[in-house]
Amino acid sequence: MDIQSIKNRFGIIGNSPALNHALNTAVQVANTDLSVLITGESGVGKEVFSMIIHALSPRKHNPFIAVNCGAIPEGTIDSELFGHEKGSFTGAVDSRKGYFETVNGGTIFLDEIGEMPLGTQARLLRVLETGEFIRVGSSKVQKTDVRVIAATNRDLLEYTTEGDFRQDLYYRLSTVPIRVPALRERKEDVPLLFRKFAADFAERYKTQSVQLDSAAQQMLINYYWQGNVRELKNIAEQISVLSTDKHITADTLQKFLPTRNTTRSLAVIPSSAQPGMPATAHSDFNTERDILYKLFFDLKKDMNDLKQMIYDVAHHQGYTPADPSANSLMPVYNEPDNAPQPTTNYSVNTPILLESNDHHEDVEETLLLADREKEFITKALKKHKSRRRDAAAELGISERTLYRKIKEYDIEE
């Protein structure tokens, strides 16, 4: 099957060399059982490439399943993938097959593999190397024949150096790497994609298809497209529905493009800082909101370091401080049987004072930090109507981290 036939079959639009190279690689590897690692920014269409590989493989008549590793809570991902036995944990009222059991003979697509917990990574490595797995709560080894295709929008190699991703698993997964280019790297495809989306939405909403003049088309080509094809499709739908004039000028188009992207300035950053982006890339924090969120989460890290410092100092002064990972910074005084009463009375509402008023102010600031974080998360969930993926993207954190925070703060969605 030639490349154009594949594009027609899977609805892929574009003729850029980078896109064609990625498709050629997918076609070549499809007929093998090699593991594939698909990399690229969010919204470039990584899942479509996994479908192409499965559809052109000898497994095409067997099951295919896509699993978003970032959307599954850390406590249940082992059960989802490998199954569990009855009574193995609270709520396990029956035995259950995992995906590696139900998709036996087929293909499993593990999206956002970088979000997978380290314990689950070890289980996955065993499946890849021996074809064996064990259900949660069982000691029986089972066999499976599943082809694994993984995808990520992160720099997994950088993750391995930080200890967040197993190096052996990385090299086992990336037997054949496929990089899907960002939309800004295939500018010549932007007008083609927009015309296709505009025609589709005109048919769906029974309206006339919108047309761009030359200036609007050039603006579309020069736009940064942080959300890639997904963002372009959203813009095309907004214009198709909301614009009364179906002849779109640059002034009209400007109203639909977020200002933060149209006014970006280039900044040189290390390529590892933004996986999938070139070394010279647009800054991701050019709006006040983005800067605030980034500053907030950076500040929390600094406050956690301060907690640890207070913990250490209090310990050396003869107190047994509370766990530094807890919300409270209050020390607990260990009173020996023959010891005199301490002159300072610490209560649950009294922050420990260390040497200066500056520390006092820092600690009080820390006590408010959790409330501020909870407030940001609650507002983001409300804004996006409890859609965790969208809320996590706005906050600049992963879905798995957002899930943990919701549980930690007992936030009602």
**Mean pLDDT score, 338-365:** 46
Strand partners, 331: 321
Go through 45-57 and write b for each residue having 16 or more CB atoms within 10 A of its CB, e for each that does not.
bbebbbbbbbbbb
234 burial (CB, 10 Å; 0-12 / 13-18 / 19+) is middle
Residues 318, 380 share a domain: yes
- Quote the CA–CA distance of 18 and 309 in Å, as a whole number: 50
Residues 221, 191 share a domain: yes
Query: Would 71 be classed as within a structural domain?
Result: yes
CB-CB contact of 121 with 135 (8 Å)? no
Least confident of 17-31, 59-73, 167-181, 394-408: 394-408
**Per-residue pLDDT, 290:** 52
Least confident of 42-51, 317-326, 380-389: 317-326
**Per-residue pLDDT, 293:** 56
How sure is the predictor about 16, in pLDDT bands with cuts at 50, 70 and 90? Answer: very high
**Per-residue pLDDT, 279:** 37
Would the pLDDT of 271 be above 90? no
Residues 163, 60 share a domain: yes
**Per-residue pLDDT, 403:** 82
CB atoms within 10 A of CB 357: 8
**Mean pLDDT score, 113-140:** 96
Sign of the Cα torsion 232, 234, 240, 244 reads negative
**pLDDT, the chain, mean:** 81
- Which of residues 78 and 299 earns the better pLDDT score? 78
- The answer for residues whose C-beta is within 8 angstroms of residue 322's C-beta and 6 or more apart is 311, 328, 329, 330, 331, 332
pLDDT tens column, 179-211: 999 999 999 999 999 999 999 999 999 999 999
CB-CB contact of 352 with 310 (8 Å)? yes
Residues 155, 61 share a domain: yes
Would the pLDDT of 410 be above 90? no
Backbone φ and ψ for 230, nearest 5 degrees, come out as: -60, -40
Q: How far is CA 345 from CA 327, 349, 357, in A?
A: 20, 11, 18
How sure is the predictor about 374, in pLDDT bands with cuts at 50, 70 and 90? Answer: confident
**Per-residue pLDDT, 196:** 95
Would the pLDDT of 87 be above 50? yes
Give the H/E segment covering residue 213.
Answer: none
Would the pLDDT of 37 be above 80? yes
**Per-residue pLDDT, 88:** 87
Query: Would 32 be classed as within a structural domain?
Result: yes
Residues 174, 78 share a domain: yes
CB atoms within 10 A of CB 201: 19
Task: Report the percent of the chain where pLDDT is more than 90.
Answer: 59
Residues 85, 45 share a domain: yes
How sure is the predictor about 399, in pLDDT bands with cuts at 50, 70 and 90? Answer: confident
Query: Would 275 be classed as within a structural domain?
Result: no
Least confident of 243-247, 260-264, 386-390: 260-264
pTM: 0.64
Strand partners, 134: 141
Range of the domain at 233: 186-268
CB-CB contact of 229 with 193 (8 Å)? yes
- Which of residues 132 and 410 earns the better pLDDT score? 132
Q: What is the dihedral of CA 107, 113, 115, 119, to 10 degrees?
A: 70
**Per-residue pLDDT, 263:** 38
Looking at 181, 215, 247, which one is the last position of a domain? 181
Would the pLDDT of 172 be above 70? yes
How sure is the predictor about 226, in pLDDT bands with cuts at 50, 70 and 90? Answer: very high
Residues 191, 173 share a domain: no
Give the CATH number of the domain where residue 86 resides: 3.40.50.300
Looking at 181, 204, 235, which one is the last position of a domain? 181
Total domains in the fold of the chain: 3
